[in-house]
Structure formats: C-alpha cells, structure tokens
Structure 1
Amino acid sequence: MPSPELSAVWLVRSRAVAASLRFWLLIAGLDERPRTLNDRLYLGYVLAFFALWAFALLTLLAGLGANLLVLLPLPPDRAASLLALVGLLGWALVAAWNAAKRSPLLFSDADGQLLCQTPVPRAQVALVWLVTGWPIAALPIWAAAAILGYAQVEIALGAGITVNDLPRYLLAGFRALVPVVPLHLGLVALAWCLGVYRLQGDREVRGLRLLPVGIGVLLFALLLGPGPASLPWQVLTLPLALPLGSAFGVFAWGTGVLGATVLAAAALLLLAATSRALSLSRAAQETRGLEALRIAQLTGTGEWAAEQTKRRRLGSGRSPARLPARAGAWSLVWKRAVQTLRGLTFTSAFTWLLPGTAALGLVLVPDPGARLWSGLMWAYFSVQACAGPLRQDLSRWWVLRGLPFAQARLLLAAIAVPATLVLLATTPALLLGLTSGDPVAVVAAAMLPGGAAIASGAAALDVLRRVRSSSLLAGVIPGVSSLALVLVVVALLPPLGLYLRLAAASTAAATVAAAASSLAAAALLGWSATHFLGQVP
C-alpha cells in the first residue's frame, strides 16, 4: 500500500497529467470518461487509426533510414547500432546540459503552493515527476529506434516487399524498442541527477554544465580520431553500445535488455538518493511560468509564448549591443538589427534557413514537379520570414507612431533587414544555380534576388491591408494569408518573361534586367503597403 506522502504527491501530479490527457482527448473528439458503448467503440477506432497512421509513417521513413545505413561503410546491423549510439549520446549530453542549467522538474504555480512548501519526501517527488513526464520526451527516440529497425528489414528484403512481410516489420520494431525504452529512461534519470544535485539545499553548485560539455568533446575527439573501433571508444560507450547493439542484432538480445534494465534501475536509485536534499522551492522558482508557456504553445497562443520566452531569456541581463549606432533614419535599421540579433535562437535561425533550403531544391532537383513545389515552398517560407519583424513592430505601433519618420521609412526599415536575410539564405542556391549549366536552374537562380524583395513587399501588403485599430489595441496582429503567396507568383511573372526574352542575347544582361524589374515590382508592392500603413491610427 502506498504511503500517505506518495499518495499526496501523486494526487498533485495526477491533476496535471489528467489535464494534459484531457486536452488531447478533446483534440481527438473524445469524452474524458467514455460512458456509452459508442464512446468506447470510438475510442478503439481512434487508437487503431493513430496506431496504423504511426506505423505507416515510420515504414515510409524507413526508406530514408535504409539509404542512410547503406552510405555507412559498415554492415547494416553495425551501422544502425553506431548511428543510434551517436544520436542517443548527443541527445543525452544535451539533456544533461539543460538539466544542469535549469531544474528538470517543471512545477506550475499551483504545484509551488501545494507541494513545494510541504515536507514531502523529495525523492518521491523527483521519481513521480520523472515517470509521468518521461514518455512524452521519449516518443521521438522510440520512433527513431523503430525506423532503424524497419530500415534493416528494407535492406534485407530489397525491392520484393509484400504484405506477407508485415510480421518481420513488427518483430524488428519490437526487437529495437524493448532495449531502447529502459535505456532511454536510465539516461533521462542520469541527466536529472545532474540537475537535482545542483539544487541541493541552499548551496550553489557551479560548473556542472562543463561536465556534459567535456564528455561530449572527449567522445567527439575519439569518434573523429581513432574511430568507433578503438578501445577507448568501446570502453566508454559500452553501457550504451551493448543494449543498442542487441536492439539491431549485433549482440544477444536478452543480454542487451538485461543491461538496459540494470542501467535504468541503477539510474533511478541514484536519482532517489541524490534528490533527498532537493530544494523544491528553488526548483519551483527556476521553472515559474514555464508550465503556462507549455500550455500556451499547445492552445494556439504560440506568439505570446515566444514573446514571454524571449523576455525570460533576456531578463537575466545582457551586455549592451556593440553594433555601431547611427543617427536619423538609419536608427530604424539599427533597431531592427539589434532585435534580430537579440532574438536569435535555434528556432529563429531555422526560420531564416528554410527559404535557403527550399531554394536549393528549386535549383538542384531535376524533376519539374518537385522543382515547382520547391518554388512554392520558397515563396511561402520567404513571406512568413519577412512578415515576422513587421508584425513585431506593429505590436508596438504606438511607439513607432511617435517617431519623427515618414511612414515609408518606417516600412522600409521593417522589411529591409528581413529581405536581406532571405537573400543571404538563398545565396548558396543562387551561386549553384548560375554555375550549374542547367537552363531551368539558371532562370530560377536569376529570379531569387528580386524574389526576396518581392516576398518582403507582398508580406507587408498582405499584413497591413488587414490591420485594424481594434486589433492593435487588443495586441492581435494579423498573420500572412494566401494572398501574399499569390502576389509573389504574380509579381515574378513580368521579370521572368523579361529574362526569357533577353537571355538569348546575354544571360548577364537578362539577369540584371530581371533583378531591376523585380525591384520595381517590390517597390510597387511597398508603395501599396505604405498606403494601408497610412490608414493605421
């Protein structure tokens, strides 16, 4: 029978788990507690549907995994084991670094009041929070393990895959998942040990983040130097290599499962011992507001969550910007550059890299259909990237409205830096396309410089035409609609026709003429956007 303390801890945690489960049930159209036979039948239908969907998606991705395994100069089983080992090691080191930076236990405001000020056993709190939060974080790891297992089946069967091979897929996925599940649990527990040790009592343990960094540098040096066949690498990675090798057929399966289970049990015991002196109040203070941010991202208020995340990140103190400040209208460009640099994260950098990735597909993929799709994706990613800074300025419109600058300059400063970043992101595709010798790729590359300006103008026009004073007062800024994508395509048609007409005489002259006409089209879009900007109160 569980102790009263454990029952109290589980009661508090179960409310958060039930609320999260209730959200996903509502998304699927399910009742929280099925009461009728129809409710139970629908629940079974939904579970079966998502299970089949997940299996179909993983088998589809298995083809990419098989191509990746073939590229490695190893047998498929050892290649899958090495790939899983490197990926899981990288994930574990990042998780340990994050745990050493901030409390791994995420408490809501209610948890801080109901639990963190009470004398409940800290070990029970840590274990309950780990077990209830671990499965969500483990889903990508489980999916990757299943994909590698399916990839081995695809390599073994070749092109002769039929429905009769379904049991082989299921067996390969089961064989890969069983050792990976306890292994991942053990790694999560070890990462939590690092974070819990930092929160012991009132003392501040510094330098713990250097531990995963040092281990990562050592393993990376061994991987690139002596290689995975060297004795130091094999000794250091044996606790992980044995379960992963058994998952993909390198070692005996039972031995790997036993090793992963022992590792998970030892890690959980270590976490229980380390967390006895855990300061729950410090953990709640470090994670205050993060639960609300997580819920906001799930409920469609991601922009508010992103703004709050930026404030938390910059609130710890930053040194003044060292960018050379300029007077006059250049101060607007300086403001946008500072905002871009201060807001630079992995997610925001990925936003600017997406247009460049789509542009590479536009100039490198030989298939016409795929090339057309890449072009549309480039236009979509470009207008989305260019609209973000403008929408950010509109959220503080009352500040910009009082500046002594013309509206055209305000708009130009808002879209100039995003258009430049899109152009820089597409520079590799531009160079590869112009030097490829493929006529279609050359034409596509020639449209990219002017296309960046057109995308920024189209994004500005689409956003500003739907801005209303009531929405600005409420802090609701309209996003980009499909009209921006249509405007980009239509505005690129005249430069494209001009290029095709002049390309027979001189490719360089045709490129310059297309760029000039694209800038003219972008200027026209910007002028139209300025008209709508003048109507903003």
Structure 2
Amino acid sequence: MKAVNWLRSRQEEREIAYWLSFVAYEKSDHSFNNRIYLLYLILFFGVWVFVTLTFFASGGVMLFEIIHPDNPAQAGLMVEIILLAVWSLYSVWQATRRCPVLFSEEDGLLISQTPLPRAGIILRWLWMPWLKNAIPFWVVAVTLGFSLAEVTIPGAMGANRIFEYTGFGIRAWMAILPVHLVLFGLHWLLGAIRLSTRGKSNHWLWIAIPSLALFYGILILSLGGGVIPSVVKIVDLILISLRIGYFDVFNWLVWMMGWLLAFLVLVILYRVSMNFSLSRAIQETGKIELISTASRYGFTSLVEQEKTQRRLGVEQKPTRLPAIAGPGVLIWKDVLQTKRTFRLTGLLTWLQILGFLFVIPVLPDIGSRGIVIILWIIQLAQISVKRIRSDLSVWPLIRQLPLSHKKFLINDLGFTYLLAVLISLAGFLLGGVVFGMQMPGLVLLVPGMIAAISCAAVFDVIRRSRSGLLLNGSVPELSAGGILLGILFTGIPLLTYVLIPGILGMLLSFLLSWGMAYLAFELASYAYRNIDHA
C-alpha cells in the first residue's frame, strides 16, 4: 500500500498545484518569499470569502422570510435538506450506472493487475473527491448560518460582535461535516456493491432511488408541518445532527455521534470493497478521468472527441433503426445524433431561441424588436450549419450517397428546421399569451424566415468549402457573410409586413418570406452541386 499512497499523493499534489497556479503560487518554490506569499493568499482569500458570504447572507434572510418567517432556523434547515436531497438522489442514480470512484487508464495499468487490497485502495481514493464535493455544501451552510445571525442577533451589527456573528457560521459548518460524509460514503457504498465480484444481480439497487426520494420527501414535508405529529418526532430525531448547527448552544455529544455514524459507514464500505472489481471500475471511469483532466488543461478538441466516442461507442445500447428507405434516413441520422450528443449547453441555445421571440410583445418599439430578431437570426444560423458541417467533415462518405443534391439538403436540414419552427412559434405564442399579442402576423412569417435563414447559412458554409480540404475533414465555419445574408432575406418580408398594413401587406410578406427561402435554397443547392469544381 505504500506505493499506492505514493501514487495517490502525487495525483493529489498535482491537482492542488493546478488550483494554486490560478493565483500564481508555485508549490515547488520553497523560498521564504514564496511562503510569505502563501500566508498573504490565505489571509486575503479568507477575508474575501468572509465578506462575500456576509453579502450573500442578506439573500438568505429574504429566503427565510419566504419559506418560514416565524422560524428562520427551520427555514435554513429546510434549504439545507432540499440541497442535500437533490444532490443525494443524483449521486445515487449515478452510482447505479457507473462507479463513483474515478480511476484513470494509467491507474489501470499500475494497480488493477496487482494483488493489493481493494478496500484500502477505495478508502485511499475517497478523501479528495469528498473534499471537492463537500466545499459547496460548506459554503451554503456557513451562508445560512450568517443569515440566521442577521435575523437572530438584536441591534446593529458592529465590529465588537464579529465573533458572535462568525460563530453562527462555524456551528452550521461543523454540523454538516459528518452528515455530508455519511451521505457521500453511502453513495460510494452503493457503487461498491454494484461492482462487487460476488454480486450476481444488482437490479435491487434501483429500489434505492424511489426509497430515498420518499425518505427525503417525508423529511421536507415534516419540516413544513405537512405530516402527522408522530412522524415529526421521528424526523426530528433523524435531523438532530443538522439541527445542532442552528441551536444557540452546540451539542457536542450529538456531533460526536454523527462522526461515529460516519466511521461506521466507512467501515461497512471497507468490508464491502474487499470484493470490489477494480478492472470494471477502471473500464467504466477511465475515459471520464481523461475527459476531466483534458478539460482542466484546455484540450477542448480532445474533450469533444472523447465525449462523442463515449456516446456513440460500445458502452451504448445498440439503436433500433426504423424502416426508413432513401433520403429519409438522413432525418433519422439527425435524430440519433441529437439524442446521443445531447448536452445542457445545447438546450440553453434552444431556450435562447424560444426566449428571443417570447420577449417580442413586451419590447416597446420597432428598434428594440429588430435587435432581438437579429440575435434570433444569429442563433438560428449557428444551429442550422451544425449538422451540415458534421456531414461535410466525412466528405468521402457523404459524396457517395445515391441522393440528389436537393434531396440531400432537404432531408439533412429537415429535422433542425422543424425543431426551430416549433420552438420559435412556441416562444412567440407563449409571449403573446403572457404579455399580449404584438405583431400577430409574425406567426405566418416565422416558418418561411427560418427556412431562409437556414439555407442562407448553409450556402455560406458550402460556397467556401473545397473538396480537397473536405477530404481532410476541414470544413469552414459560419462567417459574418452568412449571417448578413440571413438578415437580408429575413428583413425584406419583415419590412414589407411593417410598412404595408392590412391583408395586402400580410399576404405580400408571407409570399416574400417563402420566396426568400426558395432563393436561399437554390443558392445552397447550386453551391453543393458544384462543390467538386471549386
């Protein structure tokens, strides 16, 4: 185990050195000046964190007044329980899918084939992840403690009461220490049980998620007074380890009992981990550790490549292809890629598209609405070229498909186009319901304008593509010219709608929107047909 301790210590030192590099502290420098600089960093960030948390404490006071104005301690406890419940449920769900202990591929080469005790390795790997996971909860606990101090301490808050004020935060922090360690150890325990070499069937682990959700639901309802008194007494006994952080006098006996429970959980984890399958854990988490390290040092292309391989690789269940023949298979390809590469950042982009049209009715004049519509056009143009750029990057394969250039473009853009139309119309109509309908004719213009924007953006990418570069996977990005062309094709029907009132203006702008879409599509189709001659 000495070699394992040495290996893990070096990994932890590298991680600490990485975070210290953000404040220009060099860990390998043992000079006196560098030690003075470290002391300065500790004092500076200590004061900065304290001032920041006192600032956020005023927000905590407002939260207390909303949740439970008569009992701020109960409100603080409820906030803490809700945060712990959400984190715990997510961690348990994650533990039933993959190992919570992260090992790198290098760890697999060094220790997976050795006869080292698995239990000792698991416990040695626990402390750094626990510390990183616990810090956000410590910050929340101290902030809630400061909020309780602002509500509880009478009179003005002067410098002479700084220690009393700080004591509230320290008590809340000390109370959450063993509780978080108990929950963190239980999450790792579930992961260790799942990867036990003696375990034959772990389907029963899925019972843990609904059971835990029911348990946390009862805790939260009891704090709000929504359950019978006998249940409340049991809940009070369970929550006493967290409650001591909000008492005027800290109960050291209860706190020590919390640490005893945490020690018991670690002992059980040690016993269960004796049968832990280290090779399976490394197989599940090796790529995750690689992605984490690469993103930390800014290798974004490697991160994207590894994430895509994980979503499309052997870890995924095989996809059942529908019976779609001909060009329609491109639509299914886009659906499959969207499902496999879905991320929250992509969801935020679609929410922006919805939000831009949602706020149209509340904007006061044509100028502000025009700015928002331009932002909407930019987002749509960027989304529209994502799939075509992905396909052009595998040019030798795409060019050999027995499809005409027009059918290829229609089916390749079809899924993104339909999704953009549905989300844009949903945002505009929802905004009309909430704020009152403004520019109602925009509903008829949106489908044609989105088609024009998409085709203009695709035309911009294709016209600058060269077959020789596409063979190497080099695809041009969307340029400002494509965005300006989309603004032009969208602006013509919009100006017609604004300047010509009545049914005539509506009809003319509708025809112009689809006319611009047809023109943009013909341009994109012509550019794609002649891409080999560029």
TM-score by length of 1: 0.78
> 1:426/1:245 Cα in 2 relative to 1: closer, same or farther (>3 Å)?
farther
Q: Which residue of 2 aligns with 1:126?
A: 122
The match for 2:270 among 256, 269, 272 is 272
1:95 aligns with 2:91: yes
1:402 aligns with 2:397: no
The match for 1:33 among 21, 25, 28 is 28
The match for 1:179 among 175, 182, 185 is 175
Q: Which residue of 2 aligns with 1:12?
A: 7
Q: CA deviation at 1:136?
A: 2.7
The match for 2:420 among 414, 422, 426 is 422
How far apart, in 1, do the equivalents of 2:29 and 2:205 lie?
Answer: 47
1:300 aligns with 2:297: no
Q: CA deviation at 1:184?
A: 2.0
- Quick check: 2:452–2:520 contact (8 Å CA) kept in 1? yes
How far apart, in 2, do the equivalents of 1:46 and 1:115 lie?
Answer: 37
The match for 1:191 among 187, 198, 217 is 187
Q: Which residue of 2 aligns with 1:388?
A: 386
Q: CA deviation at 1:14?
A: 2.6
> 1:33/1:224 Cα in 2 relative to 1: closer, same or farther (>3 Å)?
closer
Q: CA deviation at 1:190?
A: 0.6
Q: Which residue of 1 aligns with 2:502?
A: 505
Deviations 1:304-361 (A, max 9, x none): 132122124x644335134x52x33333223323333454566655554443245445
How far apart, in 2, do the equivalents of 1:374 and 1:54 lie?
Answer: 38
2:203 partner SS: coil
How far apart, in 1, do the equivalents of 2:241 and 2:203 lie?
Answer: 31
After the TM superposition, which of the residue ranges 117-126 and 54-63 deviates more from structure 2? 54-63
> 1:478/1:27 Cα in 2 relative to 1: closer, same or farther (>3 Å)?
farther
- Quick check: 2:222–2:232 contact (8 Å CA) kept in 1? no
- Quick check: 1:352–1:421 contact (8 Å CA) kept in 2? no
2:115 partner SS: coil
How far apart, in 2, do the equivalents of 1:58 and 1:381 lie?
Answer: 36
Q: Which residue of 2 aligns with 1:283?
A: 281
1:287 partner SS: helix
> 1:250/1:25 Cα in 2 relative to 1: closer, same or farther (>3 Å)?
closer
The match for 2:432 among 434, 437, 447 is 434
1:289 partner SS: helix
How far apart, in 1, do the equivalents of 2:390 and 2:497 lie?
Answer: 36
Larger radius of gyration: 2
2:300 partner SS: coil
Code of the aligned partner of 1:428: A
1:309 aligns with 2:276: no
Q: CA deviation at 1:151?
A: 5.8
How far apart, in 2, do the equivalents of 1:484 and 1:139 lie?
Answer: 46
Q: Which residue of 2 aligns with 1:210?
A: 206
Q: CA deviation at 1:105?
A: 1.6
> 1:26/1:87 Cα in 2 relative to 1: closer, same or farther (>3 Å)?
closer
Q: Which residue of 2 aligns with 1:113?
A: 109
After the TM superposition, which of the residue ranges 446-455 and 412-421 deviates more from structure 2? 446-455
Matches within 5 A, 1:325-344: 325=324, 327-344=325-342
How far apart, in 1, do the equivalents of 2:522 and 2:172 lie?
Answer: 59
After the TM superposition, which of the residue ranges 198-207 and 39-48 deviates more from structure 2? 39-48
> 1:202/1:221 Cα in 2 relative to 1: closer, same or farther (>3 Å)?
closer
Matches within 5 A, 1:317-396: 317-322=317-322, 325=324, 327-344=325-342, 348-349=346-347, 351-361=349-359, 363=361, 378-379=376-377, 381-396=379-394
Code of the aligned partner of 2:7: V
- Quick check: 1:447–1:492 contact (8 Å CA) kept in 2? no
How far apart, in 2, do the equivalents of 1:98 and 1:526 lie?
Answer: 45
Code of the aligned partner of 2:28: R
Q: Which residue of 2 aligns with 1:72?
A: 67
How far apart, in 2, do the equivalents of 1:439 and 1:459 lie?
Answer: 30
Q: CA deviation at 1:188?
A: 1.1
Deviations 1:132-185 (A, max 9, x none): 22233334434444555566678889xx99999998986665444333343222
Code of the aligned partner of 1:16: Q
Deviations 1:359-391 (A, max 9, x none): 445556889999898767655554444343233
- Quick check: 1:434–1:441 contact (8 Å CA) kept in 2? no
TM-score by length of 2: 0.78
- Quick check: 2:453–2:486 contact (8 Å CA) kept in 1? yes
How far apart, in 1, do the equivalents of 2:27 and 2:468 lie?
Answer: 37
Matches within 5 A, 1:181-260: 181-219=177-215, 222=218, 228-229=224-225, 230-231=227-228, 234=232, 241-247=239-245, 249=246, 253-254=250-251, 257-258=255-256, 260=258
After the TM superposition, which of the residue ranges 213-222 and 85-94 deviates more from structure 2? 213-222
1:12 partner SS: helix
How far apart, in 1, do the equivalents of 2:44 and 2:130 lie?
Answer: 24
How far apart, in 2, do the equivalents of 1:382 and 1:411 lie?
Answer: 17
- Quick check: 2:118–2:273 contact (8 Å CA) kept in 1? yes
Code of the aligned partner of 1:311: L
- Quick check: 1:363–1:445 contact (8 Å CA) kept in 2? no
How far apart, in 2, do the equivalents of 1:320 and 1:440 lie?
Answer: 45
> 1:336/1:439 Cα in 2 relative to 1: closer, same or farther (>3 Å)?
closer
Q: CA deviation at 1:32?
A: 4.9
After the TM superposition, which of the residue ranges 229-238 and 407-416 deviates more from structure 2? 229-238
Q: Number of residues paired by the alignment?
A: 523
Q: Which residue of 1 aligns with 2:411?
A: 413
RMSD: 4.6
How far apart, in 1, do the equivalents of 2:58 and 2:524 lie?
Answer: 46
Q: CA deviation at 1:95?
A: 0.8
How far apart, in 2, do the equivalents of 1:194 and 1:88 lie?
Answer: 17
> 1:303/1:459 Cα in 2 relative to 1: closer, same or farther (>3 Å)?
farther
